[in-house]
Amino acid sequence: MNQEKLYYSPSHEWLHVEQQGGETIGTVGITDFAVTELTDLVYMALPKVGQKFSAGQEFGEVESVKAVSPLYLPVGGEILEVNTPLVDQLAILNEDPFGKGWILKMKLSDPSQVSTLLDYAAYRKQCAGHG
């Protein structure tokens, strides 16, 4: 996925938005910055299909040898699909966090929430400030 066309949360989740059959569908993952900061990933907990979450609500966690980090939904909605193979193949996040490393797909409950997220330039600026 083209990183410049994604939306970002300050907590390092990314969101790709598209229209499918009149619904606004979002694909969510974590950024390469987050994967690099976490280092050796050992475990991931994912939500169940059908669960509903509010924007900013914790939906799972990723654990590395350093720490356990909660995962937050950048926007609210209902989980349509989870990338279950990811749980047993966390290396995919290192190899392709913006492609095969997607975490879930969701139906957005309020597409206007996307306007609260960071664009690529603002997100990269935030990451540069952490260095």
pLDDT tens column, 10-45: 999 999 999 999 999 999 999 999 999 988 999 999
Q: 0.85 cut: is pTM over it? A: yes
Distance of CA 56 to the CA centre of its chain: 11
For residue range 69-103, list pLDDT tens digits in order: 999 999 999 999 999 999 999 999 999 999 999 99
> Is residue 64 within 8 Å of residue 5, measured between CB atoms?
no
CATH fold for the domain made of 3-129: OB fold (Dihydrolipoamide Acetyltransferase, E2P) (2.40.50)
Hey, what are 70's tokens?
Answer: 């909660």
3-state DSSP helix/strand/coil percent for the chain, to nearest 5? 25, 35, 35
| Extents of the domains making up the chain | 3-129
DSSP code per residue over 101-131:
T--EEEEES-GGGGGGSB-HHHHHHHHHHT-
Hey, what are 79's tokens?
Answer: 């989980």
**Greatest CA span in the chain, whole angstroms?**
42
**What is the pLDDT at residue 41?**
93
Q: Which neighbouring-strand residues pair with 30?
A: 13
> Distance of CA 18 to CAs 15, 86, 87, Å?
10, 22, 25
Burial, 112: exposed, middle or buried (Cβ in 10 Å; 0-12, 13-18, 19+)? exposed
The sign of the CA dihedral 70, 75, 79, 85 is: negative
